[in-house]
Homo-oligomer: A and B are copies of this chain.
């Protein structure tokens, strides 16, 4: 990757990503889903299966205190529940989604979906494909690698 390409990519990302972020957040707010942009990924992961705080934090690329607070906020809203099912290691807290959390996830997904469909409607087919492909690359590049300890634990099971 040449220096010029890197500079261009950096400028693009720094300029565009915050715009998208704000647009999505504004749309969710106006749909009455006050706070969700950051919690959506969590609900999505948790509806697959329960996770520990450490797992969630590393998957989202945030620190443990941040995740602890986020989960507390979601508990407050009744979207998730803290539980200690693990007999082997009593330090761990498993977080699981509640029925109302699943409902919230569905609502947000539907709301975002309909709004995005509207915004993306004017795109022609090649543009949509480009968008899709570009998002795929971003996912690959920016998905945090599982931490060493998480890997260790996973292998141990």
Interface on A for B, CB 8 Å cutoff?
Answer: 1, 3, 5-24, 26, 37-38, 40-41, 44, 60-62, 108-109, 112-117, 119-121, 123, 127-128, 130-144
Contacts and interface: CB of A to CB of B under 8 A. Distances in A.
B138 A6 contact: no
B6 A116 contact: yes
Nearest to A122: B141
A19 B142 contact: yes
A1 B121 contact: yes
Nearest to A7: B113
Given A120-B6, A138-B16, A133 B133 contact: yes
Contacts of A113: 3, 6-7, 9-10
A137 B6 CA distance: 19
Copies in the complex: 2
25 contacts: A9-B117, A9-B131, A10-B117, A11-B109, A12-B139, A13-B24, A13-B116, A14-B41, A15-B44, A16-B135, A17-B17, A18-B38, A19-B60, A19-B139, A19-B144, A22-B60, A26-B61, A123-B137, A123-B141, A127-B137, A130-B130, A130-B133, A131-B134, A131-B141, A133-B133
A23 B134 CA distance: 17
A113 B139 CA distance: 19
A1 B127 CA distance: 11
A139 B131 CA distance: 10
